[in-house]
Amino acid sequence: MRVLIICDSFGIGGIQRLALDQSYHLNKSNKPSEIVILSGTPRNGTATFQDNEKDLITKLSIKIKFLPGSRKKQFIELYKIINNGNFDYVIAHSLRGAVFVKLFRFRIKKKYKIVATINQLPILSAPLQRAKRFFYSQFTDKLYIFSAAAKRDWQNNKKKNVLFRILLSKKDVELVRLGVYLPRIPVKDIVKDVYSNTPKRLVFIGRLTAWKGLQTFLDLAQQPRLNLYEILIVTPTDPKPYLLNFDDDFKKRITCIIGKSISQIDFNRGDLHIYPANYGKNSEFIEGVSINVMEMACLGVPSFITKGGAETWPELIELGIVAEVDWNQLSSVADFLENYSINFQNNKLQEIRNLLNIENNLKSVLS
């Protein structure tokens, strides 16, 4: 089996993380894969997984090809790759890429299957962009979406909008849960001693977009009950402009790590990962279990997510590695964090890791 994976860009983000983890697992399983990026190489100084994980990329012989230039040029270059590649599957994290490879198939008569995954809630796209995504989505053989909330959002758009109902008349989405390439984040000593003297720490991981909830995280960190907690902020870009107006005592508690992968960071037993996703008026479609939440769970670090956000992964609530909270009640959240404790037995952590294994995702996508 040979697999081509297509993305629009290759910075640091959830789509790129998923594509690379899929490629890692495929190549480790002797199912050769390649990644094609429908854009040029990131600018110098831009953090990328390609730089952060170059040793693993080299070890597993991951081929990554960038296609810069106009849409026409990308179309031609991608055609050459498909025509010469003998691929059995195309996993398209780019709907534009899915359209391209569907058009190629009419000409070159190859039998590859096209599988597309929607990796973003439709409500986060502008109406015109959303309509374009819905139209492009119909050019695939199988269409998946990454969360239960995103699927409900997709179906809600279809129900309420006649145009969207027409665009989506041929193919509907199926839920496929994401996953993590486990060898990339091996279990470390943090899971061994729940009573260690390591200082407790509040951790924020993600881009500095409003819906990721950095401001909510900072407001929570200022709660009196948490004023002895250290603060770790992990982002692709410098967060210092967001911290200028805080007093010096608060800023002394903060450590910033910029542009690093989870596997490059040492997490502690006392860490509490905070993921306060907030979609404003569209809060009924919250997806609280991001790939970062999944990665932290694989390390044995608990995450605290937006209430109602674990719909896709109820098992993580049952296993105690994820908890839902109401960010409108920060004082209560602070009390909850202060009293929160979790004691993993090795078999429980292994159960979590088995649940989140990227292998499960690929079994569905390539079924």
User: Alpha helices, DSSP H only, in the chain?
Assistant: 14-28, 49-52, 54-59, 71-85, 95-108, 127-137, 148-160, 162-167, 214-221, 248-252, 291-299, 314-318, 330-339, 346-356, 358-365
**Model-level pTM?**
0.93
Q: Please report the pLDDT score of residue 72 as a whole number.
A: 97
Q: Please report the pLDDT score of residue 171 as a whole number.
A: 81
283: confidence class by pLDDT, cuts 50, 70, 90: low
Q: What is the mean pLDDT of the chain?
A: 91
Give the Cα separation of 345 and 11 in Å (integer): 36
CA distances from 225 to 228, 233, 333 (A): 8, 19, 10
Mean pLDDT confidence for 147-165 = 88
Q: Please report the pLDDT score of residue 126 as a whole number.
A: 87
Contact partners, residue 221, CB within 8 Å, separation at least 6: 202, 229, 231, 250, 253
44-95 tens-digit pLDDT: 878 899 999 999 999 999 999 999 999 999 999 999 999 999 999 999 999 9
With 90 as the cut, is the pLDDT of residue 175 above it? yes
Dihedral class, residue 129 (left if φ above 0, else alpha if ψ from -120 to 50, else beta): alpha
209-249 tens-digit pLDDT: 878 899 999 999 999 999 999 999 999 989 988 998 899 99
Q: Please report the pLDDT score of residue 8 as a whole number.
A: 96
Q: Please report the pLDDT score of residue 253 as a whole number.
A: 96
Say if CB 179 and CB 365 are below 8 A apart.
no
Pairing of the two strands 322-325 and 303-306? parallel
Two tokens at 332? 């209560």
Q: Please report the pLDDT score of residue 198 as a whole number.
A: 67
- For the chain, percent of residues with pLDDT exceeding 70: 94
Q: Please report the pLDDT score of residue 128 as a whole number.
A: 87
> Which CATH number applies to 3-181+357-365?
3.40.50.2000
Place of tokens 């960071």: 265
CATH class of 187-354: alpha beta
Give the Cα separation of 53 and 48 in Å (integer): 9
DSSP state, residue 311: S
Mean pLDDT confidence for 7-35 = 96
Q: Hey, where are the domains in the chain?
A: 3-181+357-365, 187-354
Instruction: Quote the longest CA-to-CA distance of the chain.
Output: 66
Q: Please report the pLDDT score of residue 345 as a whole number.
A: 57
92-134 tens-digit pLDDT: 999 999 999 999 999 987 889 999 999 988 888 888 888 888 8
Mean pLDDT confidence for 359-367 = 96
Q: Please report the pLDDT score of residue 163 as a whole number.
A: 81
With 70 as the cut, is the pLDDT of residue 282 above it? no
Give the Cα separation of 133 and 150 in Å (integer): 14
With 50 as the cut, is the pLDDT of residue 194 above it? no
Two tokens at 272? 């509490």
Give the Cα separation of 339 and 331 in Å (integer): 13
197: confidence class by pLDDT, cuts 50, 70, 90: low
Contact partners, residue 97, CB within 8 Å, separation at least 6: 6, 7, 8, 36, 38, 78, 90
Contact partners, residue 165, CB within 8 Å, separation at least 6: 158, 159
One-letter amino acid of 184: R
List, edge to edge, every strand of the sheet that includes 33-37: 63-66, 33-37, 3-7, 89-92, 113-118, 142-145, 174-175
3-181+357-365 and 187-354 share one CATH topology?
Answer: yes
- For the chain, percent of residues with pLDDT exceeding 90: 70
- Which of 240, 256, 265, 236 shows the shortest CA–CA distance to 11? 236
CB atoms within 10 A of CB 342: 14
Contact partners, residue 1, CB within 8 Å, separation at least 6: 31, 32, 88, 89, 366
First to last CA, the chain: 12
Mean pLDDT confidence for 327-331 = 96
Give the start-end residues of each E strand in 126-281: 142-145, 174-175, 201-205, 230-235, 254-258, 271-275
279: confidence class by pLDDT, cuts 50, 70, 90: confident
With 70 as the cut, is the pLDDT of residue 347 above it? no
With 80 as the cut, is the pLDDT of residue 196 above it? no
Q: Please report the pLDDT score of residue 339 as a whole number.
A: 87
